[in-house]
Structure 1
Amino acid sequence: MTNSKCVLITEPALGTIIKPIHVYDDEHQAKLKALQEYTSSLLLPSTDSYHPWEKRWLSKPDTHPRYLRAAKWKLEDAKKRIFGTLEWRREFKPELIPPDEVKIEAESGKIILNGFDVDGRPIIYMRPGRENTPTSPRQLRHLVWVLERAKDMMPPGQESLMIIVDYRSTTLRTNPSISVASKVLTILQHHYVETLGRAIVVNLPMLLSFFYKGIAPFLDPVTRDKMRFNPDLFELVPRSQLDADFGGDYVFEWDFEAYWAQVVSYCGVAPDGTRVKKESEAEAEPASKTATVESETATPELELSATSPDDSSEEEDPDKLADAAQAMTLVDPISA
């Protein structure tokens, strides 16, 4: 076993082949271009303080494909979906959540981002039994902050993540309410479409089986198909990457301050929630990762619309971003 002493795993296992790889034909490319033109027409004006962040999100190569795949390549449906997410992001501002705002939610280790599955997906471990705070909007903001960090850690070509929910030591008191769970599912299914690759549930006691019956109406069929209960984790996660709590070889000694500092540093998050590194540097960094992608199935580069950042765009300047972020007011995600 590897005794990590709380050392974060930031790369997939050596030799990992990133999957799935999405290939788009001419018809797909035409719809992607049409969706990009649509979102270009919705882009906030440059005078808006959130403009650089919206432009940054729309310029990411996976944004438009994910919404078209979720809509089964029905363009009008994809437009409605991405419009809804644009409205949500303008209100929630997921890129601008200061680490200190949600830090208390992470202290117990109830949600930990660490390691990668066999296909190179970042793993988020959720342990409801470690709940340490009363229900509040901050819990949702913490979850979104972790989702954004998981996307930061995705190796090139990977667009999805894996969630392992461990109900060991969970009680009726610590288990999230169906109301909270439905809000979490709404965020995942509506605003992080095609981002959940696998959802694994382990150690679910019979006492809590009602919980999944309660949230079943909120699960779309695609999400339901991605859920598995008590599978063989060794088929899904390399032993070297799997937490020893689940039978893996990676002994992760929980040290909150060490863990938190590593996540914030690796993902380049500034104290005000903006980015420490320039976007060009952040995009270049994953190139050194050890995961490999089969070149014959690589996703073709998409033609970017007018929303693509150029070398002189304002989001490239960390000082300007910091000034913009400081002028923003964070919105209550539950009451909004």
Structure 2
Amino acid sequence: MAPTHKILTTPAPGTEIKPWKYTEEQQAQITALREYAHTLLLPESDPYHKWELRWLTKPDTIPRYMRAAKWKLEDGKKRIKGTLEWRREYKPDLIPPDEVKIEAETGKIIINGFDRDGRPIIHMRPDRENTEHTPRQLRHLVWCLERTKDLMPPGVESCVILIDYSKTTLRTNPSISVARKVLHILQNHYVETLGRGVVVNLPTLLSFFYKGISPFLDPVTRDKIRFNPNLFDLIPKEHLYKEFGGEFDYEFDFDSYWEQICSACKIAPDGTRIEDSPATATSEHESGDSTPATLVDNQDQSPEGLSKEVEAVVNAPPAEQAAPIS
């Protein structure tokens, strides 16, 4: 491939989505948690109600929380109640792009490409740090997590975080206190969203960093992290950066990247979603799609090139619409 500024927002052709399958007992627990969660919903008069409902009714939300709770209903209730309260305060799905734009200018966090299981990849380059530690840095990371949710094809509910330490120094590496805050958000409010953590080119000098955060990693998260794995086993060559031996010769250009990611995820300047044109809305109405245009969700749209199995996932009952973590 020739050098390009174009990011990859759909999985490689032929990608197979592997749906979860639940037992009748597990499905009953999912239903019970869903019923409980709906009793916690904000009243319709609250401006955030439609966004809370949008998140709560996504096919993957309730199953993820039950799996995270290891099928203990009371723990699942506690977890989802905590996240609902956090989302009402933080409003992660409504962060305006301009609020976090400066954090993306150097390409320290880029959403680009998919792994072999159709999971979006978040590329992190700590050496490109360009700001002092502020709450905005965490807001930017959360904004990126929300965008990976937008880009996940039907049946996929997790992402890959690939951290490249090739040029990182002690000065640019995040502190352990910052890492703890990131882990808290990821492990408590984006449960089962990390499908794989990949760390490459970690210098011996920085190995202490992972020893320092290890006590704060729950066993499930720890098991998902791989150091210097064979990337060809995880990422198709056409989605693997050329610098890692792949065929994807991506060159970061901020303006191009920012326009593409906001467009692909339909993010409006105020953080809401861009409405479809009247023609598109009419077409969807005629086809039986009753999703409000202002709440368009890319998860409902099958990207080109996916295998026929994706269609089966879309049409499957809720019990089969979540993707396993490998």
Could you say whether these structures have the same fold, taking a TM-score greater than 0.5 normalized by the shorter chain as the test? yes
Pairs within 5 Å for 1:103-252: 103-252=101-250
- The 8 Å contact of residues 157 and 293 in structure 1, kept in 2 or not, is answered as no
Amino acid at match of 1:132: N
Residue of 262, 265, 268 corresponding to 1:264: 262
**Aligned pair 1:5/2:19, yes or no?**
no
Cα offset, 1:298, TM superposition: 4.2
**What corresponds to 1:292 in structure 2?**
307
CA distance in structure 1 between the aligned counterparts of 2:237 and 2:311, rounded to whole angstroms: 28
Amino acid at match of 2:183: L
Cα offset, 1:248, TM superposition: 1.1
CA distance in structure 1 between the aligned counterparts of 2:252 and 2:303, rounded to whole angstroms: 27
Cα offset, 1:28, TM superposition: 1.4
Residue of 26, 32, 35 corresponding to 1:34: 32
**What corresponds to 2:323 in structure 1?**
none
Tell which deviates more after alignment, 278-287 or 126-135.
278-287
The CA deviation string for residues 188-209 of structure 1, in whole angstroms up to 9 with x for no partner, is 1110001100000000001100
The CA deviation string for residues 185-234 of structure 1, in whole angstroms up to 9 with x for no partner, is 11111100011000000000011000001000110000000000000001
Cα offset, 1:4, TM superposition: 4.5
Under a length normalisation based on structure 1, what TM-score does the superposition of the two structures give? 0.86
**Aligned pair 1:92/2:90, yes or no?**
yes
**What corresponds to 1:102 in structure 2?**
100
Secondary structure at the aligned position of 2:180 is classed as helix
Tell which deviates more after alignment, 208-217 or 274-283.
274-283
Structure 1: tracts of 5 or more residues without a match:
304-336
CA distance in structure 2 between the aligned counterparts of 1:82 and 1:4, rounded to whole angstroms: 44
Over aligned residue pairs, what C-alpha RMSD do you find? Answer: 1.7
- The 8 Å contact of residues 155 and 289 in structure 1, kept in 2 or not, is answered as no
Tell which deviates more after alignment, 47-56 or 226-235.
47-56
Secondary structure at the aligned position of 1:294 is classed as helix
Identity of aligned residues (%): 63
Amino acid at match of 1:77: D
CA distance in structure 2 between the aligned counterparts of 1:261 and 1:295, rounded to whole angstroms: 28
CA distance in structure 1 between the aligned counterparts of 2:152 and 2:90, rounded to whole angstroms: 22
* Change in CA separation of 1:71 and 1:112 when aligned onto 2, cut-off 3 Å: same
Structure 2: tracts of 5 or more residues without a match:
276-292, 320-326
Secondary structure at the aligned position of 1:12 is classed as coil
- The 8 Å contact of residues 160 and 195 in structure 1, kept in 2 or not, is answered as yes
Cα offset, 1:286, TM superposition: 2.1
Secondary structure at the aligned position of 2:82 is classed as helix
Cα offset, 1:279, TM superposition: 5.4
CA distance in structure 1 between the aligned counterparts of 2:93 and 2:242, rounded to whole angstroms: 32
**What corresponds to 1:15 in structure 2?**
14
* Change in CA separation of 1:220 and 1:297 when aligned onto 2, cut-off 3 Å: farther
- The 8 Å contact of residues 17 and 120 in structure 1, kept in 2 or not, is answered as yes
- The 8 Å contact of residues 18 and 120 in structure 1, kept in 2 or not, is answered as yes
Under a length normalisation based on structure 2, what TM-score does the superposition of the two structures give? 0.89
The CA deviation string for residues 82-108 of structure 1, in whole angstroms up to 9 with x for no partner, is 111111101110011000000000000
